Structure 1
Amino acid sequence: MTHPMIIIGSGMAGYTLARELRKQDQEQSLIMISADDAQNYAKPTLSNAFATKKQPEKIALAQAEKMAAQLNMHIETHATVEKIDAEKHEIYYVKDNQTVTLTYSKLILAVGATAIQPDIFKNQPAVYRVNSLQDYITFRSFIDTNAEKRIAIVGGGLIGCEFAHDLQQSGHHVTVIEKNNYLLKGLLPKNIAHAFQERLSSLGIQFMCDTTVTDIQAEYLTTNKNDQVKYDAVLCAIGLQPNTALAKVAGIESNRGIKTNSLLETNQPHIYAMGDCVEINGLVLPYVMPIMQQAKALAKTLSGIPTHLHYPAMPIAIKTPTVPLTVLPPQNLIGLTWTNEILEDGIIAKAFDSENNLSGFILLGATAAKQRMALTKLVPDWIPPQIEKQLS
């Protein structure tokens, strides 16, 4: 008897892998286990759905039943996996108060990541996190009750900036509170971050950098600088924590995420991981394009053609349409030389390595954005050093 491949998780990673698997093998028995209703949707659309006037019911692309039929896959919805027995190749999940045991031939963990919420915000009625369609529906139902809400966004990273732009463009009043001294730290150098912030500020968004929240009351936040920020809702957007608890209990090595090699194999035989939960040779990349590359490589490996993962140049587009920003982070931060070309409406910043090869870039503004495709072609494939060593 051939046991099925089992995918735990019905997010973008799980569904993308299932599609890629079906390109390789139409008949392989495939089961997906989902803790929710397993609707298929693109999570990145959540942070610009207000401005695009997309109602929550229009975000989902397909229900679980339709996806199961399309992919010739059994989908268990509202089922919580409680244990993995790596030695027996079994998983145990609970549905309708019943524990079910399944045996797998190969197991793929696509369990995603959880939005971080500091203790100060826990159990507060007007504090929201948006990391799923259901989270968005809950947040949207509150926002839509009245126009011109005061929204305090805690976190000035990628998601915080995207929601700030989206909500401000939708007629709300947004204040962003960021603990670092500038936005998008880790993606942008300070000078470009400041230029980006100035353009967002011109839209009416207020920014409070180098600032943390020390107290929350019913109508206002208090900061470490003793400022009070009035709000109707607080959106917590300070980052994601890969979901590793299930893996750790099964003896699967984890660090920031579930650790794998360049074949996406964990330390346990026949168990793989991908998506926002995975740490591949030390890299955690919770973006769309890495997920696509992971799915393509892993589908081949699972189908009997071992395929090491490597990444092409992958620009990250921040969804702030009136202030376009694209970032392609350099592979290696050592020995870089940056050049800045100042335009009327933005900046083109290029990073060159010691041999004067283009290693990354930042494009701020509509004119700069037109260079995206041409510059991307000049940047070599992104092969992390650990993976490159394995391939050599």
Structure 2
Amino acid sequence: MASPTFVIIGAGLAGAKAAEALREKGFDGQIVLLGDEHHRPYERPPLSKDVLTGKAERESAFVHPESWYADHDIDLRLGTQVTAIDRAAHEVVLGDGSRIGYAKLLLATGAEPRALPGAQDTLQLRRFGDTEQLRQVLETGSRLAVVGAGWIGLEVAAAARQAGLEVTVLEALELPLLPALGREAARVFADLHTAHGVDLRLGVQVAEAGPDGVSLVGGTRIDADAVLVGIGAVPNTALAEAAGLTVDNGIRVDAHLRTSDPDIFAAGDVANADHPFLGRPIRVEHWANALNQPAVAAAGMLGQDETYDELPYFFTDQYDLGMEYLGHNAGYDRVVFRGDVEAREFIAFWLREGKVVAGMNVNVWDVTDPIKALIRSGGTVDVDRLVDVSVPLAEVGTERAATPA
């Protein structure tokens, strides 16, 4: 009997880690890894961090050495478009009309930058080519306009300021990172960029954007040598939708990362996954999900019973600020700070009904384990001890709610 073929659509970090996990878990059948780019799988955080700033070479972003795929018998096909999934035939259809049969299929199609209406010839940051264009601007330009004060926009703004450019950041909301962090913690990043000379314009609407600047609603004009648009991303669900899979803010999957078709899985930015600990589906567009989810998807493809319950995690580096975030702050009712917010050496905690639901450490290190433990404890916390820097985080402790008789 012929060995089964597993197909992975999407040759980014999630796709590459899924192929790796399948081999590590003993799968000896054929693995076909399909990517529409002409580069082998790479990680995206360096594109807005060390590769962009020149602190690291492009080679450092690749997930595996070039020889790894052949060494592990991975059929890596780059520059390959997948146009359809034929669920009835268990085949994927390629752009040249050829078909590949699959026993199990993983969708790791990621997300694409959200388009800005009225924008022409602006920059974005998602792929290697984007980073190369932006590096050219940092090396030769003098003025950069950034539309969107999210993570990508602010990281690029920091890189541009450190390269000596004048930077204007335009944001429709009243604070940067407001959806992600809420008002209390978002102010930290507004102050950070203002302190480093960024012209941060909040509550503004863009009318037009082009290669030489941005026009705002109301007539204000910001001239620039280049314009970067970073207003979020949209999950690449077209293949899944056309195939009749359940799609809702991404491809809906269960805690095993299985879609509405038992032979098709999804992982990474595109997956809106049931989360056993959070008790709700969540789609996270961050590196940690693309790194860690594929092992669970691989287990499911092999008929093993694993679930994904890692807490959402992301990080950023901007100027002299380094940050890690853990948890999910939806529905929080209080934010407290431990440490010195003005000096930007602190931990922020988001609480809901007295329980820690998320934590963010800023220039304070080696604290992710106790933060994670506080979140997972599920109990109410003594806030006075939580914010007291003299009390080790591991000793803060929580009280579980009394169980009804």
Same-fold status (TM-score > 0.5): yes
Unpaired runs of 5+ residues, structure 2, are 275-280, 379-405
CA distance in 1, matches of 2:347, 2:80: 48
CA distance in 1, matches of 2:54, 2:210: 32
Q: Structure 2: which amino acid aligns with 1:100?
A: S
**Equivalent of 2:335 in 334, 338, 355:** 338
Instruction: Provide closer, same or farther for how the CA distance between residues 222 and 375 of structure 1 changes in structure 2, counting only shifts above 3 A.
Output: same
Instruction: Provide closer, same or farther for how the CA distance between residues 191 and 351 of structure 1 changes in structure 2, counting only shifts above 3 A.
Output: closer
Larger mean CA deviation between 340-349 and 77-86 belongs to 340-349
Describe how 1:103-114 pairs up with structure 2 within 5 A: 103-114=101-112
Deviations 1:1-60 (A, max 9, x none): 333000011001100111111110151211111112242321000101233433446544
CA distance in 1, matches of 2:312, 2:242: 34
Deviations 1:183-230 (A, max 9, x none): 101222223222321122221222111112112356331112432211
Larger mean CA deviation between 111-120 and 336-345 belongs to 336-345
Deviations 1:210-259 (A, max 9, x none): 11211235633111243221110011100110001111111112121111
Instruction: Provide closer, same or farther for how the CA distance between residues 321 and 299 of structure 1 changes in structure 2, counting only shifts above 3 A.
Output: farther
Query: Residue in 1 aligned with 2:123?
Result: 128
Query: Residue in 1 aligned with 2:298?
Result: 299
Query: Residue in 1 aligned with 2:269?
Result: 276
Are the equivalent residues in 1 in contact too, given 2:3–2:29 (CA < 8 A)?
A: no
CA distance in 1, matches of 2:150, 2:194: 15
Q: State the number of aligned residues.
A: 368
| Residue 324 of structure 1: how far off its partner (Å) | 2.6
SS at match of 2:89: coil
Q: Structure 1: which amino acid aligns with 2:347?
A: I
Show structure 1 runs of 4+ deviating over 6 A. Answer: none
Say whether 1:46 aligns with 2:57.
no
Instruction: Provide closer, same or farther for how the CA distance between residues 53 and 173 of structure 1 changes in structure 2, counting only shifts above 3 A.
Output: farther
Are the equivalent residues in 2 in contact too, given 1:93–1:100 (CA < 8 A)?
A: yes
CA distance in 2, matches of 1:225, 1:261: 46
Are the equivalent residues in 2 in contact too, given 1:318–1:326 (CA < 8 A)?
A: yes
Are the equivalent residues in 2 in contact too, given 1:315–1:376 (CA < 8 A)?
A: no
**Equivalent of 1:100 in 87, 98, 101:** 98
SS at match of 1:120: coil
Instruction: Provide closer, same or farther for how the CA distance between residues 257 and 234 of structure 1 changes in structure 2, counting only shifts above 3 A.
Output: same
TM-score (norm 2): 0.84
Say whether 1:118 aligns with 2:116.
yes
Instruction: Provide closer, same or farther for how the CA distance between residues 106 and 61 of structure 1 changes in structure 2, counting only shifts above 3 A.
Output: closer
Describe how 1:68-217 pairs up with structure 2 within 5 A: 68-94=69-95, 98-121=96-119, 124-125=120-121, 127-144=122-139, 146=140, 148-216=141-209
CA distance in 2, matches of 1:381, 1:234: 45
CA distance in 1, matches of 2:250, 2:259: 11
CA distance in 2, matches of 1:240, 1:268: 25
CA distance in 1, matches of 2:137, 2:30: 42
SS at match of 2:32: strand
TM-score (norm 1): 0.86
Deviations 1:81-108 (A, max 9, x none): 11111011011102xxx32111100011
**Equivalent of 1:377 in 373, 377, 380:** 373
Are the equivalent residues in 2 in contact too, given 1:251–1:268 (CA < 8 A)?
A: no
| Residue 361 of structure 1: how far off its partner (Å) | 1.8
Are the equivalent residues in 2 in contact too, given 1:187–1:329 (CA < 8 A)?
A: no
Unpaired runs of 5+ residues, structure 1, are 383-392
Are the equivalent residues in 2 in contact too, given 1:9–1:34 (CA < 8 A)?
A: yes
SS at match of 1:41: coil
Instruction: Provide closer, same or farther for how the CA distance between residues 216 and 33 of structure 1 changes in structure 2, counting only shifts above 3 A.
Output: closer
CA distance in 2, matches of 1:291, 1:116: 19
RMSD between aligned residues: 2.3
CA distance in 2, matches of 1:137, 1:361: 34
Query: Residue in 2 aligned with 1:14?
Result: 15
Are the equivalent residues in 1 in contact too, given 2:253–2:272 (CA < 8 A)?
A: yes
| Residue 164 of structure 1: how far off its partner (Å) | 1.0
CA distance in 1, matches of 2:330, 2:64: 40
Are the equivalent residues in 2 in contact too, given 1:25–1:303 (CA < 8 A)?
A: no
